[in-house]
Structure 1
Amino acid sequence: MVTGRLGGIARHARSRGPIEVIDRVSVSVEAGLAGDFRGAVKPGGRGRRQVSLIEAGDWDRAMTALGHSLPWWHRRANLLVEGLDLPQVPGTRLRIGDVVLEITQECDPCSRMEEVAEGLKAALTPDWRGGALAKVIAGGDIAVGDAIEIIQG
């Protein structure tokens, strides 16, 4: 079994709002990460963007390419994945504690990344380096340091 670890958790209460870095959070099928504006599934929606994940190694490669050393949460992703290559296959399921997430699509970097650092959007574009989006299949509580495993791929 291939496992990684949850290296960080971040959320923002509104679009373009400040990022809050936290040590633990509750995750639900209805609302995604508690306190994060993206997690709520709209009526008739599929919740494909409830949770965003980025690999620590991909962020580090982007920072190296730009000559920067910004913290990972500048990507505005919810979860930092360490020691695991996230599958680039929609439908893949990950377990973090009791929480099960299903990867739905690539998290394409937006023009907002250019506000963080010039060239960051391009540095995050290749090979899903900007991360993955997921929907919540099963809720629970997660904390920094929890194991992450691929349970279906």
Structure 2
Amino acid sequence: MAEIVSIWIKRAHGGAMDRVDEAHLVPGRGLVGSADQGGWRQITIISEESWRNATAELGADVDPSARRANVMIRGLDLQKSRGKKLQLGDCVINVRGENPPCRLMNEMQQPLRSHWRAGVFGEIVYGGTIRAGDSVRFL
């Protein structure tokens, strides 16, 4: 079963990613407490498997919070998911596209570029609270 592994909130632009046990998702806005609100990038999601492959290619053990995504999932391939609906727990995300590596990820950019390894971004359609261990699936 695919599931949420980790959740992070960025409380300030360019600031640290704070790992949290749960997060509240608000449609049209994003994660409560996040510096990034609104637009199409209300939430960013990466796959644990893709992250491990990218760091193995680098030959380095890099903490996934360095990717600066909001959610890490396990057991579901995010490739070619643009336009799909992704359910995280009781919440639903409209996947808008592939999330390019950010400027803070310069060192890892090449390994992250192949096969959607940098994850996806999307809009929150149905909000609620997500927690590590919640199920994940495409609708």
Shorter-chain TM-score: what band?
over 0.9
TM-score, length-scaled by structure 1? 0.86
In structure 2, distance between residues paired with 1:30 and 1:11: 17
**What does residue 108 of structure 1 align with?**
100
Does residue 71 of structure 1 match 2:70? no
Letter in structure 2 aligned against 1:93: K
**2:131 is aligned with 1:139:** no
1: CA distance, partners of 2:82 / 2:40: 10
% identical equivalent positions: 29
Report matched runs for 1:1-153 at 5 Å. Answer: 3-38=1-36, 40-41=37-38, 47-114=39-106, 118=107, 120-151=108-139
Q: State the distance in 1 between where 2:50 and 2:130 align.
A: 22
State the Cα distance separating 1:15 from its structure 2 match.
Answer: 1.3
* Deviation (angstroms), 1:19: 0.9
**Unpaired segments ≥5 residues, structure 2:** none
How much does 1:87 deviate?
A: 4.2
Q: Distance in 2 between matches of 1:147 and 1:55?
A: 14
Bigger radius of gyration: 1
Distance 1:58 1:87 in 2: 10
- Structure 1 runs (4+) greater than 2 angstroms displaced: none
How far does the alpha carbon of each residue in 1:77-127 deviate from its partner, in whole angstroms, 9 at most, with x for none? 00001011124232100112221001001101133112xxx3x01110111
AA of the residue aligned to 1:142: I
For normalisation by structure 2, the TM-score amounts to 0.95
